[in-house]
Amino acid sequence: MNNSNQDVIKSNSQLLQKEMISRNYDRITSGQFKVSSTFVPGNLNELLMCFDIANNLPEINAIQNAMRKKSGDFITEAERSGHSEDVCTYVKADIGMMEKGNIAPNGKPFPDPDMLLLSYTGCFTFLKWFELLREQYKCPTVMLHVPYAADGKVTKNMRDYIVTQLKEEVIPTMEKISGIKFDIDRLREYLRKSAQAENDLVWMLEQSKHKPSPIDCYFGGVYYMGPIFTAFRGTDEAIVYYKLLREEIQQRIDLGLCAQTPEGDMSEEKYRLVVEGPPNWTSFREFWKMFYEMGAVVVASSYTKVGGVYDYDNFRHDPDHPLESLADYCLGVYTNRNLPTRVDMLARNVKEYEADGLLINSIKSCNSFSAGQLVMMREIEKLTGKPGAFIETDLVDPRYFSAANVKNRLESYFQMIDQKRRAGGSATVAV
C-alpha cells in the first residue's frame, strides 16, 4: 500500500484530530509552559491543566516515531547503550530519541520536563522507565500509586488512599513547580467537560453494534481515542471533536456504510472481530490493510480501553466528587483490571457486538498486556462458543512484524470462522 498522505482518505474528524495532536506538540515545545511527562493509562490531564502544565506522553512520542519509520533507529541506539532486546520497545524508542537529539514530531527539540508524573496503573515498566528519565533530567518525580484491583472491585480504602496522595503529594508538587495555587472549582469545570466528551465517546463505541459497523474500533479507534486519551480530555476542543465524530458516524449509519479505511469505505463486512492487545505501529497501515482486504472489521477492542474504561461500568468523571473521580478513573483503566475482569469485558463484547470471535495480538515486549492472554482466549472461547486466534507482533520495533506470518494466521482464522458458521464448534488458531 502506498502510504503517502495524498493517497490516504481522511474524514473531517481525523483531520481535526491530527491538528489537535500537532497543536499539543507546539504547546510542549513553545517554551511558554511548564512541562510534565506522564503516561496514557490513568493520566491526570484535568489536574495538570489546573496548573497550566503541558502534558507530554512518552508512549505517544514512540508511536509517532514508529508511524514515521524512525523508531527502529532509536531502538538500535538504545540497545547499543546497553538496553536489552527484551525491554519494552516504547522505552527504547524514547531513550534512543533522547540520545539522537530528542526532536519532537514538529521538528523542534523537546524541552526537559519540569516534572515526571507517574500514575502507576499496572505496568511495572513505567516505574523503570521513569527511573531512567529521572537520571537523565534530574527533575522532581511524583508517583501516584494506584492499588491493583486484584479481586476485581474498587474499595473505599483504595479510593481514599489515592485521594490522600493527591492532596498531600501530587497537588503540592504541582503548586510548587507551577507557582499556581490549586483551585478545585477549576478542576470541577474541567471534569464537567470531560464527562460531556465521554458521553459521546461511549455512544461512538456502541455504534459498532450496527451491521454493518460504521467504524473500526481498533485501527480506526486509534484516531477516535487520540484526543481523550492524551492532552485534550477536559477541554472545549474535545467536546467539539467528539460532537463532530458523532455526526460523522450517524451519517454513516444513515447511509448504511461499512467502516472507513485509508483507502475509502469497506465494500463488504464479512467478519466481525473483538481484538485484545495493542496494534503494531511500525507497519500500521499494512497491518490494517490485511483486515479490510479480507472484509474484517474490529467491532470492539481492549486497546480502546487502555486510557480509560467508560463503557464497561459506565464510568464518567464526576465534577461533584473531583478527587474521588480522579481516583476511580486511575483504578479503572484496563491495565489495572485483573484477568477475570478482562475476560468478562471481552466476552461481553463478543456477545453484545455479535462478533465472530476474539483475535489476540500479543506484543512481544509488552508484559502488561501479553501475560495470561492464551488463558484469557481459551476462557472466552468457552464463554462465547466463538473461535479465538493468536498472532504476535511488537509495538514499535520493525524487526518483529512479519507480514507474511500475520497474513497467513489471519487467513487461517477466517477459514476457521467460515467452518464454525457451517458446522458449529469451537477451535483455536495459535502461533
Q: What is the pLDDT of residues 226-277, one digit of tens each?
A: 999 999 999 999 999 999 999 999 999 999 999 999 999 999 999 999 999 9
Q: Is residue 141 pLDDT above 60, yes or no?
A: yes
- Candidates 333, 282, 310, 319; CA nearest to 40 is 333
How far apart CA 200 and CA 243 sit, in angstroms, is: 7
Tens digits of per-residue pLDDT, 253-267?
A: 999 999 999 999 999
- Candidates 319, 302, 339; CA nearest to 190 is 319
Please give the model's pTM, rounded to 2 decimal places: 0.93
Q: How many residues does the chain have?
A: 431
Q: Is residue 119 pLDDT above 90, yes or no?
A: no
For residue 365, the model assigns a pLDDT of 87
Q: Is residue 163 pLDDT above 60, yes or no?
A: yes
Q: What is the DSSP string of 337-370?
A: B-HHHHHHHHHHHHHHTT-SEEEEEEETT-HHHH
For residue 127, the model assigns a pLDDT of 84
Tens digits of per-residue pLDDT, 26-71?
A: 999 999 999 999 999 999 999 999 999 999 999 999 999 999 999 9
pLDDT, mean of residues 116-143 = 87
For residue 5, the model assigns a pLDDT of 46
Kindly state the helix (H) or strand (E) to which residue 205 belongs, with its residue range. Answer: helix 184-206
How far apart CA 44 and CA 327 sit, in angstroms, is: 10
**Residue 87, C-alpha cell as written in the block:** 525491554
pLDDT above 90: percentage of residues in the chain: 85
Tens digits of per-residue pLDDT, 284-309?
A: 999 999 999 999 999 999 999 989 99
CB-count burial class (<10 Å; 0-12, 13-18, 19+) for 181: exposed
CB atoms within 10 A of CB 254: 9
**Residue 206, C-alpha cell as written in the block:** 456502541
Beta bridge partners of 55: 36
CB atoms within 10 A of CB 236: 11
CA 405 from centroid of its chain's CA atoms: 25
Q: What is the DSSP string of 391-407?
A: EEE-SS-GGG--HHHHH
- Candidates 90, 84, 33, 34; CA nearest to 395 is 90
Q: Is the dihedral of CA 131, 24, 191, 215 positive or negative?
A: negative
How far apart CA 199 and CA 380 sit, in angstroms, is: 28
Are the C-beta atoms of 12 and 244 separated by less than 8 Å? yes
How far apart CA 58 and CA 67 sit, in angstroms, is: 14
User: Which of 134-143, 183-192, 381-390, 418-427 has the weakest average pLDDT?
Assistant: 418-427
Tens digits of per-residue pLDDT, 85-117?
A: 888 999 999 999 999 999 999 999 999 999 999
Residues 6+ apart with CB under 8 A from 287: 219, 279, 280, 393, 401, 406
Q: What is the DSSP string of 68-112?
A: TT-HHHHHHHHHHTT--TTS-HHHHHHHHHHHTT-B-TTSSBPPP
| Nearest-5° Cα angle at 179, 103 to 112 | 15
Q: Is residue 122 pLDDT above 80, yes or no?
A: no
CB atoms within 10 A of CB 117: 24
